[in-house]
Structures are given as structure tokens and as C-alpha cells.
Chains A and B, each alone.
Chain A
Amino acid sequence: MFYKVLNGVKIIEYGNFISAPFCAKILADLGAEVIKIEDPCCGDESRLQAPFMQDIPGLENSGLFQYLNMNKLGVTLNPETATGMKILGELLKSADVFVENNSPKKMKKLKLSYTQVKKIKPRIIMTSITPFGQTGPYRDYASCELVSAHIGGVGYISMREGDISKEPIKLPAHLFSFQAGLSAAVATLSSIFRQSTTGLGEQLDVSEQESVIQNLNSSIARYSYAGQIMARTDAAGHAPFHILPCKDGFICAAFVEEAEWRRFVEVMGHPEWADNELFKDFASRAKYWDALKPLMIEWAMQFTEEEIYRRSQEKAVPLGAVRSAHQVLQDKQMAARQFFVEIERGSAGKLIFPGVPYRFSEIQMESPMAAPLLGQHNEEIYCGRLGYHKRDLAKFKEAGAI
């Protein structure tokens, strides 16, 4: 954990890949006990997803898996066997929250729909995160982060000055699966708050598509009030709002207020540009962008992104350096806030990971725990908690239940 906030809250995660594991990670980071259930054969599929330490694929070598599952306990269990299902029932009986991201069809088949889980543990919070939610005509449709990004409407407006002849693209990595997990954690935290005072649970039906929709603030306003359909070419009427090259990389010069532009021309050492009729406001600068752009690039090419970033921010210009992961890892601001953390991973050694973006004034930050090896806590949970004998564990394993 990072912060002891949710001590005593017990969570069972039957999740795979990103959305549910990330939701449970956030709760684990806040001190809830998360028992993660993994397939006995090869575990969570993110275990076999890049990046791998030194490019060596292996169940215990994925940076993605290790990030997503820090601070959790891990057991192997196959609920598709009758014995596995019986053990899961025992785990659920002592849980407060059940987090999962399996297809509604699979959960129904396993008798793990909310109605059925409620029979095992009446006051449970069940957070289900699926591409399209638990209801509606697409509930059983297949999806992945790419499809969610597009069917949620973000792909179509993914950039400001795109070329309509080229395909809409999505944002990098698996951003929207993470955002869905984050949103699910928010929903779950509000329900844990209610559960702690009323003892009641509920079903939380989180849709990755809807989580993508929450990014469409200006799109929906324009559609709603002007019938306008935004596309990825629409923002061309505003400049500068661009990423531009500089000496050693790129800068992001995106301004909203005229005062910011006036301060920026000072930073560029060209105060006279503020008086240039062609560059007088955002619309005009956009109109004459072909004239302005080379001037700005010519200036920017003399300096590094760090130089431009610092100089601009010192004059209250909200400009950003376009940082690579390498630069992010060396960021002094993040270092001052101790954002990156080092985690000891047993014999695998120490490794740096992104931490959490929140700091609590009244609670000490603690060192996080490494993600579990596949089945690492089987004995602790099955023998220590549920009272099975080690002999039983061997038999469960032979039978494919754990």
C-alpha cells in the first residue's frame, strides 16, 4: 500500500488485463486488502504483455503486470471447476467488494452474476467493468482498448488539425482501459463509504465506452447547442495551439488567453509580433499560421525544450516540454514530490515504478509491496484463512482447481 486509508476493507479481484486490475490496484494502494484470483495455467494475460525486463518474456517479467498488481495478494483459482467455485464462494463470504471485468455471459454461466453473488454475500459491492456495461444490445460484444476509444467517440476527434484522408487514431498505450479502471475505483470508493455506515452493498455497472464518453465535454456542448459535429480537423481556427520542433525535441505551445500570447512574444524576444496586425488574435494567427509557424520554429530551434519550458513558465506562459519517458523519469518536480518509487521484487531485485498522484497530509506514505508471483499466496489464503490443509492444496492443484 501507499496509504493506510481503507484498512479492513476486503476485496476479491477476479480481473484480467487492465481495467479491473487497475481499479483494484487503486484500492490496494489505499490500504484495502486485495486478493487477486488468477487462472492456474498462466495467470492474468498482462503477465505476457510487454514491456518485459531486459526483453525477456516471462510470467514474472512484465512491467505492465507488476505495475497493475502491486500491493495485492495473489492466488490461483479456476472458478470453472466445482471445487474452484466452492473456494471462491468461501472467499466472497468474507469480502466487502468484488471487482471483475469478465464478460456478462461468462459471469452468468459461472453463476457469478450480481444476483447470484448477492446470495453468497448479501451486502457485497460488486464492481463490474466491461467494454459496454451489463445491459443494452452490445453488452456481449467483443472489444479492446482500440475499439473502446473509437466507439466511445474519442478517435473521431483525436487531434485538432488532422488530415481527414487519414484514419482517426487513438491515444497511446491503453489509456482508456486505465481511465475506465480509475473511474470504477471512484464509483467503488463512494460505495465503500456508504457500506461503512449502512452496511449495504450494490452493483456498480461500469462501461469502458461510457468512461471514454466522459472525455467529450466540448463535443457534446457543440452538438447540443449548435448541431455541430466535431471532427479531427476542426480546431484549425486557433493558434498557437501546436506542438512545434525545437533544438532537441518538441514544445507544446497551447494558449487560451491573449495575455499568454503577449507574454510569450516577450519570451521569444519578439515583442513587436504582438503589434503585428496579422498576428493580432487567435483567429488571425490561425489564418496566417503559414507565416507565423516558420518564425516560431526558427526561434525555437535555437533552444532546448527544457530552456524554452523554464523561460516560458517563469513568465507565466503555460507552455510545456514534450517529454519522453526518459525525461519524465528525470523530472525534478516529480522527484521533489517522490512520485517514482522503488520496489523490491525478491530475487528479481529493485525496480522503479510510477507511484500515485495523491499525497495525504495526515497519513504517512509507506513503501509499496511488489506484485504477487503466480499463486504466491495460495498457502497463506487457502490454509491460513480458509483452514485447508497443505494436502488439500496439492489435490486442488492436481484437479486443476488452483
Chain B
Amino acid sequence: MNTPSLKGIRVIAFTWVWAGPWMGGVLADMGAEVIKIETRQRLDSQRVVKITKNLEQGPNQGQFNVTNRGIKSVTLNLKTPKGLEIIKQLVKISDVIITNFAPRALPGWGLGYDTLKEIKPDIILVTLPAFGSTGPDKDYLSYGSTLEAVGGLSSSFGYPGEVPVISGPYPSDPIGSMYGLVGVLAALNYRNRTGKGQHVDIAQNEGVTSLIPEVIMEEVMNGRTVPRMGNRDEIMAPHGCYPCKGHDKWVAIAVGTDEKWKALCRVMGNPDWAKDEKFSDQYARWQNQDELNKLIAGWTKGFTHYEVMQKLQKVGIAAGPSFNIEELVNDPHVKNRGIFIEQNHPVAGKTIVYRSPWKSALTAKNPPAPCLGENNIYVFKELLGISDKEIAELIETKVIY
């Protein structure tokens, strides 16, 4: 009954950095067997990251372990004829291939979609390049921040009246992952119905643009650029982040109606300033939000962010702390939901990862992220039937490398 949705689906992953690996991590949660193809010739840059308090310790793979949890790893040099032959055998017994490498990488090894289709007629190939695999800029290079710039997100990001800035968390990466997964799952559904495979090509920059239609449609409908607004809203006020007791502690508060405004005033003890005509209706508050924000900050400063959240949520006002990672991991609600999972990684030790952002009774139980080539024997011997002797030779000749 509780078999994970993708039990029995095998995925080959040519992934690195973030957008590709997080696709693999989510597919593993869905019960797919995800096999990441790696090589010492060029490692996933996240493998060699060293995030540790103990300076003696070598690379512990840092965020590699967060996104790649639950998958398998093999080492294979695709630039050797034998390596290519082996990967083709693996393609024969797989359902899906995912990659966030540049569009020329797979065809460069002789693994373009047409070839893959000859090997396995109903194979699903999902490519996730920065700008798509077609068009004049298909070979352009990008990190998350470049995508946010070119996709139209960065120009609207920053404090009101100030210059645009680079975002800290690069959401374009996990947005790319999720669109990549839409591609994988749509194609699997299509294959179920028709028996046909598919090449699904996803342009990550288009993914970014598709998530900010307000910005695009303001230009289309009114020929206007949406200004940088920080925490501000089109019409709500107060709608911001206010200082609280302690060092760098903040609470976000949003008030959308007159009724909620009155409730906020009551919680603040109905101060005289709140009765001013300048704040008497939503438009007036929105127009005078600079002043309003200072006055509200004067009140929030007297409390912890948790206290403000509790006081306001009691009367139905949207409010919550701007959590740092430590507060987030230890928050009672977050703990109760179990989004963060503590794993024991054989090399890196205690590792906190997060599951897919939903609860499903069907989520698979998965091991920590693999060490480099951890599953070589399973894949080459058990799945592909290569003998121990031959495996030893392949290691010797740096095919398994």
C-alpha cells in the first residue's frame, strides 16, 4: 500500500552543484533509484568543499551531502571507449536520465538524445541547462545569480530606492530543480500512457521569469518597471520586518485590512500615534509607511520576535520571526513537522539534511549522500554483471575512475 510513487524507476544522474543534485534528492524521496555518474577527472565542485570546525579534517563535501542524500554514486570515465560502453549498458536498464551539465556535454561523449533513444527506445532524457539546449545563447554559462539577473528577478530585488543586489540564497537553483522534476514526471506519465520516451529540455532562466509574472505583466500591461520594494507590498501596510529584542532579531508583520489594523493597534495598547489620520485607512497607511514602520519598530523593540508573533497570531495577524538557521532547526513547529533530518554520514559525521517540502505517507527512507564511487560494485557487478576480475582491470586502466 505505502509503496513510494517511483519505486522501480531507475534514474541516471549527470548532475553537479545544486539544481541537478536536488532533482536527484527529491526523486530518491519518491522512491526512485538514482545513480549519479561521477569521475575523478572532474568532480562535482561541491564534493571538495570543506565546511568544518576541525581544520585537520579533509573535505567533507559540505552541501553536496544536503542535496545528494538518498542517491547512489559510481565513478566512470566517459572519455574512455570502455567507459562509454558501460554507461550504454546502464542506459539499457534505466528509465530516466537527468542532467544539468552544459548542453554540449552529453552529445560530446556521444550520448545525445538520438543515440540514447537507439539504445533504449523509451528512454526519458531531461536536460536542465541555464538557457535551454536551443537558441543563439544556448552555450552561455551561468550560476544562480546570473540566472536571476538575466531572468528579470535581480532588477526588482533590493531596498526601496537603492541599487539591485545579488540574492543570498540563489532560489533559481531549487526552482530549476523543481521544473526539472516537472519534466521528469510529466514524461513518465506520458510514457505510461503511450509507451513513448522523450527529451524534455528546460531553460532555467525561463523558469525564473515564469515565477515573477507580476513583474513581467506590469511591463506588458502598463509599460512600467516594478521598482525595488524590499519587504513592501503593492498595497498592504504595515508589511515589513521590524527589530526585536536581541542582536539582529526581526519579526515580519503583514496587515491587509482595516480590521486587522485595529487588532494590531489593540495589541500595541492603542497608542495615540495610531489614531492619526495618516494611518486611518489602508491607502493612507501605505502612503505613510516610512513613518508607520518607525513607529511600529518602536513597539516591536520591546519584545522578542517570538513574543510578537504569539501576540499577533492570537488575533489572527500574519506575523513570524525572520529566523536564522539555528532558530529554524530548533523551532517547535519545524521540529514537529520533521523537515530537517539528522543523518550519520560515514565521512562527514553528523549531517543535517532536509526532506522534500511536503509530507507524504509514501516518502522513501533513504541513506545519507554517497561517498565517491560508493556503489561501484552494486552497479557494475550486480546490475551490469561485470566480473570482479574485469572490474579490477577497469579500475587499473582508470575507466572506473
Q: Given the known A-B contacts A175-B153, A182-B178, A254-B146, are A50 and B192 also in contact in the complex, defined by CB atoms under 8 Å?
A: no
Judged by a CB distance under 8 angstroms, whether A276 is at the interface is no
The answer to whether B229 touches A150 (Cβ under 8 A) is: no
Identity of the chain A residue whose Cβ is nearest the Cβ of B151 in the assembled complex: A328
The answer to whether A337 touches B206 (Cβ under 8 A) is: yes
Judged by a CB distance under 8 angstroms, whether B383 is at the interface is no
Judged by a CB distance under 8 angstroms, whether B165 is at the interface is yes
The answer to whether B358 touches A204 (Cβ under 8 A) is: yes
Q: Given the known A-B contacts A158-B167, A173-B226, are A54 and B221 also in contact in the complex, defined by CB atoms under 8 Å?
A: yes
Chain A residues with CB under 8 Å of B376's CB are none
Q: Given the known A-B contacts A67-B217, A190-B6, A318-B146, are A203 and B350 also in contact in the complex, defined by CB atoms under 8 Å?
A: no
Chain B residues with CB under 8 Å of A161's CB are 165
* Residue in B5, B186, B217, B326 whose beta carbon sits within 8 Å of that of A194 in the complex: B5
Q: Tell me the complex Cα distance, A234–B256, Å.
A: 33
Chain A residues with CB under 8 Å of B113's CB are 361
Interface size class of A (residues with CB under 8 A): 35 or more
- B304-356, CB < 8 A from A: 313, 316-326, 328-329, 332-334, 336-337, 339-340, 348, 350-354, 356
**Segment at the A interface, from B60-68, B81-89, B280-288, B389-397:** B60-68
The answer to whether B357 touches A213 (Cβ under 8 A) is: yes
The answer to whether B141 touches A317 (Cβ under 8 A) is: yes
The answer to whether A213 touches B171 (Cβ under 8 A) is: no
Judged by a CB distance under 8 angstroms, whether A347 is at the interface is no
- A183-208, CB < 8 A from B: 183-187, 189-194, 196-198, 200, 202-207
Q: Given the known A-B contacts A63-B217, A224-B351, A226-B51, are A167 and B250 also in contact in the complex, defined by CB atoms under 8 Å?
A: yes
Q: List 12 A-B contacts (CB under 8 A).
A: A136-B334, A146-B254, A157-B168, A167-B240, A169-B241, A196-B189, A225-B348, A242-B166, A318-B141, A323-B150, A333-B140, A355-B210
Identity of the chain B residue whose Cβ is nearest the Cβ of A332 in the assembled complex: B136
Interface string of B231-248 (1 = CB under 8 A from A): 101111001111100001
Q: Tell me the complex Cα distance, A265–B205, Å.
A: 26
Interface majority SS on B: helix, strand, loop or mixed?
mixed
The answer to whether A250 touches B163 (Cβ under 8 A) is: yes
Q: Given the known A-B contacts A136-B333, A146-B233, A167-B243, are A256 and B143 also in contact in the complex, defined by CB atoms under 8 Å?
A: yes
The answer to whether B45 touches A235 (Cβ under 8 A) is: no
Q: Tell me the complex Cα distance, A325–B49, Å.
A: 36
Chain A residues with CB under 8 Å of B361's CB are 202-203
* Residue in A148, A171, A190 whose beta carbon sits within 8 Å of that of B185 in the complex: A190
Chain B residues with CB under 8 Å of A167's CB are 230-231, 240-243, 250, 322
Chain B residues with CB under 8 Å of A207's CB are 337, 339, 357-359
Judged by a CB distance under 8 angstroms, whether A278 is at the interface is no
Query: What 3 A-B pairs are tightest by C-beta distance, nearest first?
Result: A63-B217, A151-B320, A357-B206
The answer to whether A179 touches B178 (Cβ under 8 A) is: yes
Chain A residues with CB under 8 Å of B203's CB are 334, 337, 339, 357
Judged by a CB distance under 8 angstroms, whether B292 is at the interface is no
Judged by a CB distance under 8 angstroms, whether B179 is at the interface is yes
Judged by a CB distance under 8 angstroms, whether A98 is at the interface is no
Q: Tell me the complex Cα distance, A400–B237, Å.
A: 33
Q: Tell me the complex Cα distance, A327–B165, Å.
A: 18
The answer to whether B324 touches A230 (Cβ under 8 A) is: yes
* Residue in B212, B316, B362 whose beta carbon sits within 8 Å of that of A202 in the complex: B362
Q: Tell me the complex Cα distance, A325–B223, Å.
A: 9
Q: Tell me the complex Cα distance, A224–B343, Å.
A: 10
* Residue in A204, A322, A325 whose beta carbon sits within 8 Å of that of B149 in the complex: A322
* Residue in A162, A217, A353 whose beta carbon sits within 8 Å of that of B18 in the complex: A217
The answer to whether B222 touches A51 (Cβ under 8 A) is: yes
Q: Tell me the complex Cα distance, A160–B157, Å.
A: 13
Chain A residues with CB under 8 Å of B142's CB are 318, 320
User: Knowing that A186-B182, A357-B204 are A-B contacts, what are 15 other residue pairs whose CB atoms are under 8 Å apart, sorted by A's residue number?
Assistant: A132-B337, A150-B250, A151-B320, A167-B243, A171-B153, A187-B358, A194-B6, A207-B339, A213-B334, A216-B328, A217-B67, A225-B351, A245-B163, A325-B152, A339-B203
Judged by a CB distance under 8 angstroms, whether A10 is at the interface is no
**Segment at the A interface, from B33-41, B71-79, B194-202, B266-274:** B194-202
What's the nearest-Cβ distance from chain B to residue A142, in Å?
Answer: 4
Q: Tell me the complex Cα distance, A361–B317, Å.
A: 48
Q: Tell me the complex Cα distance, A352–B18, Å.
A: 32
* Residue in A144, A172, A326, A351 whose beta carbon sits within 8 Å of that of B254 in the complex: A144
Judged by a CB distance under 8 angstroms, whether B375 is at the interface is no
The answer to whether B155 touches A323 (Cβ under 8 A) is: yes
The answer to whether B150 touches A325 (Cβ under 8 A) is: no
Q: Given the known A-B contacts A137-B336, A150-B250, A250-B155, are A334 and B360 also in contact in the complex, defined by CB atoms under 8 Å?
A: no
Q: Tell me the complex Cα distance, A98–B346, Å.
A: 42
Chain A residues with CB under 8 Å of B200's CB are 358-361
The answer to whether B137 touches A333 (Cβ under 8 A) is: yes
Q: Tell me the complex Cα distance, A64–B248, Å.
A: 35
Q: Tell me the complex Cα distance, A180–B145, Å.
A: 20
Q: Given the known A-B contacts A156-B323, A254-B146, A329-B219, are A243 and B171 also in contact in the complex, defined by CB atoms under 8 Å?
A: no
Judged by a CB distance under 8 angstroms, whether A252 is at the interface is yes
Chain B residues with CB under 8 Å of A367's CB are none
Judged by a CB distance under 8 angstroms, whether A387 is at the interface is no
The answer to whether B231 touches A146 (Cβ under 8 A) is: yes
Chain A residues with CB under 8 Å of B163's CB are 243, 245, 250
The answer to whether B352 touches A224 (Cβ under 8 A) is: yes
Identity of the chain A residue whose Cβ is nearest the Cβ of B133 in the assembled complex: A359
Judged by a CB distance under 8 angstroms, whether B181 is at the interface is yes
The answer to whether B6 touches A193 (Cβ under 8 A) is: yes
* Residue in B137, B326, B333, B360 whose beta carbon sits within 8 Å of that of A132 in the complex: B333
Judged by a CB distance under 8 angstroms, whether A166 is at the interface is yes
Judged by a CB distance under 8 angstroms, whether B134 is at the interface is yes
Judged by a CB distance under 8 angstroms, whether A120 is at the interface is no
The answer to whether B225 touches A325 (Cβ under 8 A) is: yes
The answer to whether A329 touches B220 (Cβ under 8 A) is: yes
Q: Tell me the complex Cα distance, A142–B205, Å.
A: 32
Judged by a CB distance under 8 angstroms, whether B187 is at the interface is yes
Chain B residues with CB under 8 Å of A63's CB are 213-214, 217-218, 220-221
Judged by a CB distance under 8 angstroms, whether B399 is at the interface is no
The answer to whether A50 touches B218 (Cβ under 8 A) is: yes
The answer to whether A222 touches B66 (Cβ under 8 A) is: no
The answer to whether B354 touches A216 (Cβ under 8 A) is: yes
**B18, B192, B337 — most chain A CB neighbours (10 Å):** B337
Identity of the chain A residue whose Cβ is nearest the Cβ of B352 in the assembled complex: A224
- B118-157, CB < 8 A from A: 131-132, 134-138, 140-143, 145-157
* Residue in B173, B178, B205 whose beta carbon sits within 8 Å of that of A186 in the complex: B178
Interface string of A366-388 (1 = CB under 8 A from B): 00000000000000000000000
Chain A residues with CB under 8 Å of B63's CB are 217-218, 220-221
Q: Given the known A-B contacts A154-B171, A182-B178, are A146 and B213 also in contact in the complex, defined by CB atoms under 8 Å?
A: no
- A252-310, CB < 8 A from B: 252, 254-256, 309
Identity of the chain B residue whose Cβ is nearest the Cβ of A137 in the assembled complex: B333
What's the nearest-Cβ distance from chain A to residue B239, in Å?
Answer: 6
Judged by a CB distance under 8 angstroms, whether B252 is at the interface is yes
Q: Tell me the complex Cα distance, A169–B182, Å.
A: 29
Judged by a CB distance under 8 angstroms, whether B109 is at the interface is no
The answer to whether B217 touches A64 (Cβ under 8 A) is: yes
